[in-house]
């Protein structure tokens, strides 16, 4: 079945770049997404990428998509302590495009 | 301000009681979703509705029920049949056409003792 995998933890120093990786299984996914969740809050959509794109940049965020390997990454440049959160990768379900399949989330810790 | 509201933020119930969680959106979105989040488990889909008066079961629908009588509202009832109801519940909505971004409410933390 459809599945999205992410590593559970990442720790970086303030000012460094963070790279969060994700693999997915559904090759028919049209869109892939990155969400951010701060403690006790809902999910905030950070960015998404259309499956026919390789890269998308939005200020400090860069998304890279390798469709052949079904690999998605989120790079956060100049990581700040305010970036500490859980980051979720998600893919649109091939069977029902509005439904999303989420990974378990990567907890990013930024040390000063 | 457009958005999704969930109430209450925290909810406490005794075992054996049904409880209803509220979700309202003023984004004019067609589709709405309920997820359950447990530590280390990510998000699991409980129910979703793509149109008024219609809804489908997600991956973990047992012990839950929903209704969609109005486009803006998608309440979730956690019944006494749900074996482990203590969790963080998230409601989301999407316009229903690409790119299908889901927008989330702030969540309700339910504790059943």
Measured CA to CA, the distance from residue B51 to residue B96 in angstroms comes to 9
Of the candidates A64, A51, A62, A44, which has an alpha carbon nearest to the alpha carbon of residue A105?
A: A44
Interface with chain B: mutation pick from A43, A47, A51, highest number of B CBs within 10 Å = A43
- Whole-number Å distance between alpha carbons of B93 and B57: 16
Question: A69 falls in which pLDDT band (50, 70, 90)?
Answer: very high
How many of the other CB atoms lie within 10 Å of CB of A20?
21
Asked if A43's CB is within 8 angstroms of B104's CB, the reply is: yes
Q: What are phi and psi of A97, to 5 degrees?
A: -60, -30
- The whole-chain average pLDDT of chain B stands at 93
Per-residue pLDDT for A15 more than 70? yes
CB pair distance less than 8 Å for B100 and A98: yes
* Residue A74, strand partner residues: A20, A63
Highest mean pLDDT among A92-106, B49-63, B93-107: B49-63
Tokens found for residue A71: 């690999």
């Amino acid at each position: 079945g459809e599945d999205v995998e992410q590593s559970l933890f990442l720790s970086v120093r303030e000012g460094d770049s963070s790279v969060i990786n994700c693999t997915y299984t559904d090759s028919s996914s049209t869109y892939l997404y990155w969400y951010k969740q701060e403690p006790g809050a809902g999910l905030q959509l950070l960015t998404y990428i259309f499956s026919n794109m390789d890269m998308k940049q939005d200020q400090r965020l860069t998304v890279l998509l390798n469709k052949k390997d079904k690999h998605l990454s989120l790079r956060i440049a100049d990581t700040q302590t305010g970036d500490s959160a859980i980051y979720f990768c998600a893919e649109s379900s091939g069977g029902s495009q509005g439904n999303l399949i989420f990974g378990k989330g990567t907890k990013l810790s930024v040390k000063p | 301000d457009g958005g999704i509201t969930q109430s209450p933020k925290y909810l406490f119930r005794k075992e054996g009681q049904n409880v209803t969680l509220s979700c309202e959106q003023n984004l004019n979105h067609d589709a709405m979703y309920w997820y359950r989040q447990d530590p280390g488990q990510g998000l699991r889909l409980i129910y979703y509705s793509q149109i008024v008066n219609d809804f489908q079961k997600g991956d973990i629908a047992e012990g839950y029920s929903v209704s969609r009588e109005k486009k803006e509202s998608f309440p979730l009832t956690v019944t006494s049949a749900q074996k482990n109801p203590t969790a963080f519940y998230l409601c989301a909505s999407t316009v229903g056409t690409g790119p299908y971004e889901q927008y989330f409410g702030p969540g309700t933390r339910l504790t059943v003792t």
